[in-house]
Amino acid sequence: MYEDNKTVVTTQALYRMPYYIQQLRILQSNNTELVSAPYIAELLNLNEVQVRKDFAAVSSAKGKPKAGFSVSELLNNMEELLGYNNYDEAVLVGTGPLAQAILAHEGFQNYGLKIVAAFDGNTNSIGSEINGIKILSMDKISNLCRRMFVHIGIITVPAQQAQVVCDQLVAGGVLAIWNFAPVHLSVPEDIHVQNENLVASLAMLTKHLKQAMKPNT
């Protein structure tokens, strides 16, 4: 749960915010000034009451029952809450296919993430560039993060290397880690780790598909 002196937003609501923002940007581009919670709920296949609560939690001026919520106000409040208006600089460790896809995805900057450097243990990769990002030696991780005050680290290395990389990031002052390695990382209590286990996600998808396609008996 996110909480400050004005706002209390559940973790589940935070996960829904990017989807709200996407729809609100479309409405704003069409010069729509007001939007209702039921309309957004229908677009995103969400519960109407849930959407209204999410909007009320972030909107500085509560929505009117008939008129709805201000699109520009909701958008500004959500983008401010998620830090979209401020670039959060990050470093990426590993330069395999997944890392290259992340570095090539320019859309991350629109959502408040700017990758400033990448690291790799392969000497053949060091000194080269991917999408304008220079690849540096992994022994420079801690020093660069500390010197540039980088607080986000993205890990795309193999599982057996992930903990060592994680320790280097933490030593450099990184406070949040986006982990794509299929391994549990040991970190201090004040470090946030967001795990993205692609294999586990695929397993969940195939399990759901198997159940959905099971013949009726």
Q: E strands of the chain, at which residues? A: 2-3, 8-9, 34-35, 69-70, 88-93, 113-120, 129-130, 133-137, 152-155, 176-179, 192-195
**pLDDT tens digits, 74-90:** 998 888 887 666 568 89
**pLDDT tens digits, 27-48:** 999 999 999 999 999 999 999 9
**pLDDT tens digits, 125-151:** 899 988 888 899 999 999 999 988 898
What is the residue-averaged pLDDT of the chain? 85
Quick one: tokens of 8?
């209390």
Q: Which domains are assigned to the chain?
A: 2-82 (1.10.10.10), 88-201 (3.40.50.720)
The answer to pTM > 0.75 is no
